[in-house]
Chains A and B, each alone.
Chain A
């Protein structure tokens, strides 16, 4: 399974690279266009790519291109201000570098904007040079790109499917060939017999056996019967045991959640650290399902999905899921305010340990320094979260037997590790030797 994922992943990367290449290409073409058509700013070299980077690092916290947030939407702002208000670039420079002094100076439009946004002042950026501001403005001047529906993933799916289909075809072909062979052999046999009959060769006829039939011999042989009965019982016991042992083991449990939260997008594509959201895993026995205010740290400004989509999970689908979050947390995206009407999200719990088992995340995450993926699997690739490990006691214990205690930089272990390793005559103690197999460590 892992291998498959890796394969897919590498494909993704290559595709990503190619799209990046496409972007670059598009950007360059655009740049060329700008060069060709823009006659007034020949003196400076405008670079919307640099502008984008500057925009993301300085402006994106409060501004979006197409949507009013803490500050106004900025697409085509230069043109808009020039056309509507008759304000030139110089005004833009002074506003961006120090809006407060511009407001103070009594500038009409500056005061109007200030009042419109309830007196929240824009951060001053005195460090930005003219050319940098120009770059940003050139980025904002770009036309809105028509979203290209990517069919890449579908293609991947198809490829996968075609693989399956080709396998079936090969199998089918094999079956057909075998059938033909069998038929051929039968026909050959038939023909040979006819020849034999015709050339009067006596065919060996089957003697009617006087021996007992096999089943009767079997029944009469008490010992054999007993042995096979025992064998039958053992085999069925094996299967019954197997059936019973999987009761309550929910490996692969993949319930539908009230909000389609994609770990792939968050932990995978955006590489958000697991413990950013599951922060209590560092200090508590619970990893904790993040409260909605944690989501809003980012989703205040991320109101739409702009990543890769598939047929099943389209942009509209993801955007609707973000709206579900807004509804639950009571965020009015239009007015950028909390309404106070909240609704708790009832997630379906995936990893359920029985009440009599004590498990502490902090011990494994902070003390032992185990990656979350060791138990939870490739979460960064999971579009829908599922239970990766069996979470059985045998699984716990195997790991405790095999894993060495991480004693580096932990003074707690200094003395006890030295004494115990001397006692057991080993260099490094496993968790089991440290006492990690005692019943009372997990059951109380």
Chain B
């Protein structure tokens, strides 16, 4: 794996023979192996005239076969209905059942509610009983599709050949017993389970086999932070932060809205961002890559890691009044000085860092202890990361030195995730027994002797302790689809324990965990908090500090970056995470919140660096369209990255806001085994993850090759159109009247400026919307972090098809809900507006607008989720020639697929561009080999929503199937709809954990939405058009200061 340059991918053996090169090359160039005899047939007049089939005959045949085909089509198919033989009591066909369970795959941990229909899980929902920090992100939302993955292992394998569980059990047991008394050790290399019952099982195994070691391995390691926390508090875990309690967040390279230290901080973060009574949190951020966190920060400083370290050191020394020489640049010195005064003035400030270094993580713990903010909660230990890099390093050495007799792996894929996977493979070959518990025939699977097919978490029992004292249960929601057995079942077998894992789990919970609730109650809730095993804050906040190197030695230890090298910052993407869900088409097609690119990863680089390295391509814009090929898609040059002896060819993406001298590359892509060929996208960042260090020093060389991206947003700036994303500053928000920062649009009526809401300027008569239900959706631009959980939830709920990379590149994406991301062209959106307003004359406008297409070096970023706005005066409805899109009394703009003939007038007339056209039949079509073309993948489809066919328009329906379900349920029960019952009807708002999206009935008294639409911050998108949408946005308020 050392060099990609010398690696040759081959499709058949003939490819490998250099003598065949010419023949193969010419074959590759041809679409068909033989020429199609078009010329022979059509070019030769003689054969044409002598042909017995005349043109008239041909037409007759065509006519006859068409008539025959259409007559044959009149015969209806015979449809079978097969009821249960014995119907389970809890299942009523057509009524959904919900089960609380927990995902704990080593990377994502969340309490969820599973919606099942007729016994098959179809959607992941929020478990409202669970703590907000354990809510589902986009990957968890999509995990239900992994259950129906056709590439899952259906049975155990032995030496790459199909085997049986009996053989597996006998063989492994025999070999383990042989090893019991040998000098070699038995090693468990597992994911972080955070599971009390599993750990108990492993402990029992150790008693039986004393030469056993358990090594926990996190693919994307938090080892340094774990070490620092363990040294200080004695538990291998991480400190917890409740950002909803903080009024000042200083983050130095910590991607707190991403997967930093286990993730799940975004919900609380979002809460503190909504201005209530004139107060909201302030967030200052230092980072190299443009991350979701940086995009949400009030002030963001693009800095490389050396500068981040220096910032942290100078804050530390200032806070503790230590005098030391820290060489900060002038600009950063003033920034830090200002920050210090804010830090000390704030009530609950908190400092977090993502620097993977024991000293710096200890330093952060000490700073927070000193600041003593309520947001810092070291006693609520996070247990979802427990990996230890040193143990893993040592294991590889031991394996190569023949010290390991058996290695049993579960939930890990080290051959893919280790940067030194070659020596791991060598070591694997030397172990006598290697067992891998995996759902897929993945990269590691090909090197192990026994491959145990494991079930998906929706088919398994289990438990997890995500934070200290907060326990959750995993329960199966479907019978195992394949012949699989989970790791814990086999452990029980090895421990000579004949109970099932379910019974074991239950008795362990009853004995050791449950005290107030019964097992059935805990199972129903999915969670259980044991107050006894939680720690008190006071005992933790006074713990002795770690001893670490002195400030001056730390400062002097910062290495100066060598010439011509770049600082590579490896990061995890919102959609793909650590890469275990790479075969999930929803996630592959999920647009990255920052780059808005799908089906790819790439090297992010600043524009200046790209120009210096000759990696810059003029972007395709309105003024500059044809330079990158005719299709207008985004292109990028390929670069070759060199790290020591490794080379990696990656496409380059210009990223505004990327710190100069740094580049970014994401994990999770470049999978090569156990996934469909179409999903083998991108390159693997793990290959450069040397020593599990996410910051590396690399060299970059440009190539002339062009890579085609599939980006869903080609226009990056707002062009000064401040009425699309209205925003203001907290100071103005608090001091000025709302019509200063949220003015209503006016139009000219008889040369007088009239507000658009005035009936006199309206083309249409008003309807009475006060009777019955009327649905509205409010989107708070302050709370929205752009995390994208709503996008996937919408995908799952509404059977939105996946179209693939080439279709996305043609702008044929089908997402009903998109989250637009805009960069400012000047330093802020405000200056953009001013710049646009100052344009005078045609010449100035042309040049200025051209300038404004380019995002700034360190732009402000804004996110805006956009779905059908359900306009009360909808432009789409009036132009439909067949009345396929109509308006309902409940405010929904309805789309009737069976009526639509596909003229696409509606999409042309939609000012928000939210309508999606089905260019092809995406289901049961092998051209779209994602999940809708096989029986297993189709099991995820929601039976209440039509699967659309080719040639019809579709769009967000405000989840009418769910609002109707609520109404119908109330009718059957003979009662009015109860308060708040509609609030989680829309899949997007139900999935939103930060409270940015609120759905509801505005005619319901005291519903949150009825006050939100009257809020001072509320505005309608493009209200000048007069469409009167039922989606309302809340003005974004920034808490930024110029420093």
Contact between B76 and A440, CB atoms less than 8 A apart? no
B23 CB → nearest A CB, Å? 50
B85 at the interface (CB under 8 A from A): yes
B81 at the interface (CB under 8 A from A): yes
A56 at the interface (CB under 8 A from B): no
A282 neighbours in B (Cβ, 8 Å): 972
A438 neighbours in B (Cβ, 8 Å): 886, 888-889, 894
Stretch of B91-99, B296-304, B423-431 at the chain-chain interface: B91-99
**Bound: A376/B208 CA distance, A:** 67
Q: Evaluate whether A250 and B76 lie within 8 angstroms (CB atoms) in the complex, with A284-B93, A290-B83, A439-B899 already known.
A: yes
| 53-83 of chain B: CB within 8 A of chain A | 74, 76, 78-83
**Bound: A441/B967 CA distance, A:** 11
| 317-360 of chain A: CB within 8 A of chain B | 328-330, 342-349, 352, 354-358, 360
B74 neighbours in A (Cβ, 8 Å): 247
Contact between A292 and B86, CB atoms less than 8 A apart? yes
Interface SS of A by simple majority: loop
**Bound: A360/B897 CA distance, A:** 19
| 945-968 of chain B: CB within 8 A of chain A | 945-947, 957, 960-961, 964, 967-968
**Bound: A248/B80 CA distance, A:** 17
A288 neighbours in B (Cβ, 8 Å): 83, 92-94
Interface string of A401-444 (1 = CB under 8 A from B): 00000000111111110011001000000000001001111011
A346 neighbours in B (Cβ, 8 Å): 80-82
Q: Pick the residue among B93, B894, B960 that contacts A280 (CB under 8 A).
A: B93
Contact between B772 and A293, CB atoms less than 8 A apart? no
B974 neighbours in A (Cβ, 8 Å): 367, 409-412
B161 CB → nearest A CB, Å? 33
B87 at the interface (CB under 8 A from A): yes
B768 neighbours in A (Cβ, 8 Å): 423
Q: Evaluate whether A444 and B83 lie within 8 angstroms (CB atoms) in the complex, with A367-B972, A412-B974, A438-B888 already known.
A: no
**Bound: A367/B967 CA distance, A:** 11
Q: Pick the residue among B79, B898, B961, B968 that contacts A356 (CB under 8 A).
A: B898
**Bound: A358/B945 CA distance, A:** 9
Contact between A284 and B81, CB atoms less than 8 A apart? no
**Bound: A343/B896 CA distance, A:** 40
A255 at the interface (CB under 8 A from B): yes
Interface size band for B: 35 or more
Contact between B80 and A444, CB atoms less than 8 A apart? no
Contact between B94 and A285, CB atoms less than 8 A apart? yes
Contact between A289 and B894, CB atoms less than 8 A apart? no
**Identity of the chain A residue whose Cβ is nearest the Cβ of B768 in the assembled complex:** A423
| 921-966 of chain B: CB within 8 A of chain A | 944-947, 957, 960-961, 964
A313 CB → nearest B CB, Å? 24
B977 neighbours in A (Cβ, 8 Å): 412
**Identity of the chain B residue whose Cβ is nearest the Cβ of A440 in the assembled complex:** B894
Contact between B772 and A440, CB atoms less than 8 A apart? no
Contact between A286 and B94, CB atoms less than 8 A apart? yes
**Bound: A291/B892 CA distance, A:** 38
**Identity of the chain A residue whose Cβ is nearest the Cβ of B945 in the assembled complex:** A444
Contact between A443 and B83, CB atoms less than 8 A apart? no
Contact between A441 and B964, CB atoms less than 8 A apart? yes
B15 CB → nearest A CB, Å? 45
Contact between A347 and B896, CB atoms less than 8 A apart? no
Q: Evaluate whether A362 and B968 lie within 8 angstroms (CB atoms) in the complex, with A290-B83, A440-B957, A444-B960 already known.
A: yes
A439 neighbours in B (Cβ, 8 Å): 884, 886, 888, 894, 896, 899
Contact between B85 and A342, CB atoms less than 8 A apart? yes
**Identity of the chain B residue whose Cβ is nearest the Cβ of A418 in the assembled complex:** B771
A302 at the interface (CB under 8 A from B): no
A419 neighbours in B (Cβ, 8 Å): 771-772
Q: Evaluate whether A354 and B898 lie within 8 angstroms (CB atoms) in the complex, with A255-B78, A440-B960 already known.
A: yes
Q: Pick the residue among A293, A354, A363, A435 that contacts B968 (CB under 8 A).
A: A363
B968 neighbours in A (Cβ, 8 Å): 360, 362-363, 367
A387 CB → nearest B CB, Å? 11
**Bound: A90/B972 CA distance, A:** 57
B586 CB → nearest A CB, Å? 21
Q: Pick the residue among B79, B899, B972 that contacts A363 (CB under 8 A).
A: B972
Contact between B85 and A440, CB atoms less than 8 A apart? no
Q: Evaluate whether A286 and B894 lie within 8 angstroms (CB atoms) in the complex, with A362-B972, A363-B972, A444-B960 already known.
A: no
Q: Evaluate whether A289 and B86 lie within 8 angstroms (CB atoms) in the complex, with A412-B976, A440-B894 already known.
A: no
Q: Evaluate whether A416 and B772 lie within 8 angstroms (CB atoms) in the complex, with A285-B94, A291-B87, A438-B886 already known.
A: yes
Q: Pick the residue among B889, B890, B894, B976 that contacts A444 (CB under 8 A).
A: B894
Interface string of B665-708 (1 = CB under 8 A from A): 00000000000000000000000000000000000000000000
**Identity of the chain A residue whose Cβ is nearest the Cβ of B84 in the assembled complex:** A291
A283 neighbours in B (Cβ, 8 Å): 92, 95, 972
A270 at the interface (CB under 8 A from B): no
B871 CB → nearest A CB, Å? 15
Contact between A349 and B87, CB atoms less than 8 A apart? no
A20 at the interface (CB under 8 A from B): no
Q: With A250-B76, A284-B93, A412-B975 given, can you name 10 additional A-B contacts, CB distance below 8 Å?
A: A293-B86, A344-B84, A349-B79, A355-B947, A360-B968, A412-B974, A441-B964, A443-B899, A444-B957, A444-B960
5 A/B residue pairs, CB under 8 Å, sorted by A? A285-B94, A348-B81, A358-B944, A414-B976, A440-B957
